[in-house]
A and B are shown apart, each in its own frame.
Chain A
């Protein structure tokens, strides 16, 4: 049988059946859930790759880290706040991941063990026992690691995320905020708002000579943080802290158990006390190149990619930058494109643009 005629007729019948029926777009909740799942998958994938790179001795890219420390002394004068006061609906999706020692979640007064993958509504209060830990993943890409004895109530309102910290130790990796988005950490006596991506907040014993007796300490290592205390708003840039007179000493007095929970290694050393976020610089350079390319400014785009690759040859964006630069030069400077394609093939023998590089080297269109 060389001509399966009925198979052809079946094909014709089924293809004409109803191919033009459009799917219904997902609702807002489904969309938010799906985005949260995608963000989590990206983070998980990135974490696995980082782990693999570390195992191989490579240097991982730095991530934004926020550390919040609440000394146990602060618990004595914490005024519990009802969930409704710190949160309302419409905030980012939050998923919990309990770690060693476990944690509990309290919703509307009811306490239950925190289970892996639990979605947390605004107003949920997470408490870790001594020795317990947990991580919260936000749909925005932010993650929050709770140390032992932590007491955190999560909330949000539209594009804002609000954490009410009543005790324990919390590390936060805050994703870049878009327009209209806010990330706020409330401690018992201060409000800390993220305007950048990397900083540390700690609480220490009240000292009348330090910031009027506040227990809050802030150290900013990247970007800008705004601290509001006693009706005064202070803008704290990178490399500085709050209160100005005593933030350095407070950090050094923290007990060892209050060390950051999940501090990723920085990809570049800190210079002269001023921390440098290599990842932010890499992203900026790549964005600059992409913007120039969109404008049609090929020399500008190539120059930005050149700089990125010269300064960060081993960064996560290096392969992509190398490919984009190669593509840009293919039409404008074929000779250099061939050289770069050869270099790409040597450096990334199984790279995603291998076929393209081979075509450039071979002079194929």
Chain B
């Protein structure tokens, strides 16, 4: 720094003044503190919130969207923003992880429904199976399993979308009816109806596809 106003000031590292108390690292926030900070509009909690929920968001997005989807990062970011904007709806009647997973699934669900270029809505399941089959020591069986899965997914893709989603979210991904209602933006009753009808429809479709039904039975019968 110079006394002349015409000379540009230079930024330099300044040694710590021992007389000035340095701010200590913020303590790790537990979930209740994190939520309080979030509700209070404390933007400095962003990093803590991100690091707390990001693994769950990634797991959910990866599971529903697939590991190689180009939109994965954007969707994960949207999910975290959605988590902030919907935090008032979180009543602490489930864990923060569960709520995070539900909100992330909701964002993925909306994203896939908006995506008009790809009809395969359950491609993530296909990708999962491909990854799993590459690590098996029984390639012949896994190839057959993969063929069966592909045909099952074709049936799911051909179903009414809302029923297929209810079936997959509940029976495959393990979301309960209340969570499915939140994800798909319907009442719990409607979610239940869709689930029941979805199960029935996939059953009838496979029952009407004798080869697939037989393959499915034999695949499941093997150890």
Partner-B contacts on A (CB < 8 A): 1, 4-7, 9-15, 17-19, 21-26, 30-31, 33-43, 45-47, 49-50, 61, 74, 77, 79, 81, 86, 139-141, 162, 175-179, 181, 184, 186-191, 193, 195, 206, 212-215, 224, 226, 228-233, 235, 283, 286-287, 290-291, 316-317, 319-320, 324, 352-356
Whether the pair B149, A320 counts as a contact (CB closer than 8 A) is no
Bound CA span A193–B9, Å: 13
Of B7, B50, B76, most A-chain CB atoms within 10 Å: B50
Q: Within the complex, what minimum Cβ distance (angstroms) separates B209 from chain A?
A: 9
Interface CB pairs A-B, < 8 A, 24: A6-B203, A6-B216, A7-B200, A13-B152, A13-B219, A17-B129, A18-B129, A21-B62, A23-B58, A23-B61, A30-B73, A31-B50, A37-B80, A38-B81, A38-B84, A42-B46, A46-B42, A77-B5, A176-B26, A191-B1, A191-B11, A212-B3, A214-B5, A352-B39
Contact of A13 (CB < 8 Å), options: B24, B55, B131, B149: B149
> Contacts of A25 on B, CB cut-off 8 Å?
54-55, 58
Across chains A and B, which 3 residue pairs bring their CB atoms closest together, nearest first? Answer: A46-B41, A18-B128, A141-B43
Whether the pair B128, A17 counts as a contact (CB closer than 8 A) is: yes
Q: Which A residues are CB-close (under 8 A) to B70?
A: none
Within 8 A of A (CB), among B136-151: 145, 148-149
Q: Are A224 and B92 in contact (CB under 8 A)?
A: no
Chain B residues, CB < 8 A from A19 = 63, 128
Task: Enumerate chain B residues within 8 angstroms of A9, measured Cβ to Cβ.
Answer: 206, 216-217, 220
User: Which residue from A15, A38, A162 sits with its C-beta under 8 Å from B11?
Assistant: A162
Residues of B within 8 A of A287 (CB): 27
Looking at the complex, which one of B26, B42, B81 makes contact with A37 (CB distance below 8 Å)?
B81
Contact of B172 among A11, A26, A178 (CB under 8 A): A11
A186 to B10, CA, bound (A): 8
Question: What B residues does A179 contact at CB under 8 A?
Answer: 22-25
- In the bound complex, residues from chain B placing their C-beta under 8 Å from that of A232 are 1
Q: Mark B1-28, 1 if CB is under 8 A from A, else 0.
A: 1111111110100100101101111110
Cα-based distance from A235 to B61 in the complex (angstroms): 49
A21 touching B131 by the CB < 8 A rule? yes
Q: Which residues of B contact A (CB under 8 A)?
A: 1-9, 11, 14, 17, 19-20, 22-27, 32-33, 35-36, 38-47, 49-50, 54-55, 58-59, 61-63, 67, 73, 76-77, 80-81, 84-85, 87-88, 90-93, 125, 127-132, 145, 148-149, 152, 167-168, 171-172, 198-200, 202-207, 213, 216-217, 219-220
For A212, list chain B residues within 8 Å (CB): 3
B9/A191 in contact, CB under 8 A: yes
Partner of A42, one of B84, B93, B200, B205: B84
Chain A residues near B202 (CB, 8 Å)? 4, 6-7, 10
Contacts of B6 in A (CB 8 A): 77, 79
Q: Is the CB of B44 within 8 A of A231?
A: no
| Residues of chain A lying within 8 A (CB to CB) of residue B167 | 7
In the complex, the answer to whether B129 meets A230 with C-beta atoms within 8 Å is: no
Q: Which of B46, B76, B127, B172 is within 8 Å of A15, CB to CB?
A: B172
CA–CA, A177 and B129, complex, Å: 47
**Contacts A9-B220, A41-B84 given; 20 further ones with Cβ under 8 A?**
A7-B202, A13-B148, A13-B219, A18-B130, A18-B132, A26-B73, A36-B46, A38-B80, A42-B46, A45-B87, A46-B43, A141-B44, A175-B44, A176-B26, A179-B24, A230-B3, A233-B14, A233-B17, A319-B39, A320-B35
Which single member of A7, A21, A26, A214 contacts B171 (CB below 8 Å)? A7
A352 engages B1 (CB within 8 Å):
no
Shortest Cβ distance from residue B100 to the other chain A in the assembled complex, whole angstroms: 12
Task: Give CA–CA (A291, B29) in the complex, Å.
Answer: 10
What B residues does A11 contact at CB under 8 A?
Answer: 171-172
When distances are taken between beta carbons in the complex, the residues of chain B under 8 Å from A324 are 32
**Pairwise interchain contact A45-B85, C-beta atoms closer than 8 A:** yes
User: Does B1 lie within 8 Å of A231, measured CB to CB?
Assistant: yes
Least CB distance from B82 to A in Å reads: 9
**Residues from chain A with Cβ under 8 Å of B26 in the complex:** 176, 178
A74 to B216 alpha-carbon distance, docked (Å): 80
Chain A residues lying within 8 Å of B91, measured Cβ to Cβ, are: 352-355
B5, A352: Cβ atoms closer than 8 Å: no
**Min C-beta distance of A237 to chain B, whole Å:** 10
Residue contact A38 to B5, C-beta cutoff 8 Å = no
Query: Does the CB pair A1–B204 fall under 8 Å?
Result: yes
- Complex: how many Å from CA A317 to CA B38? 10
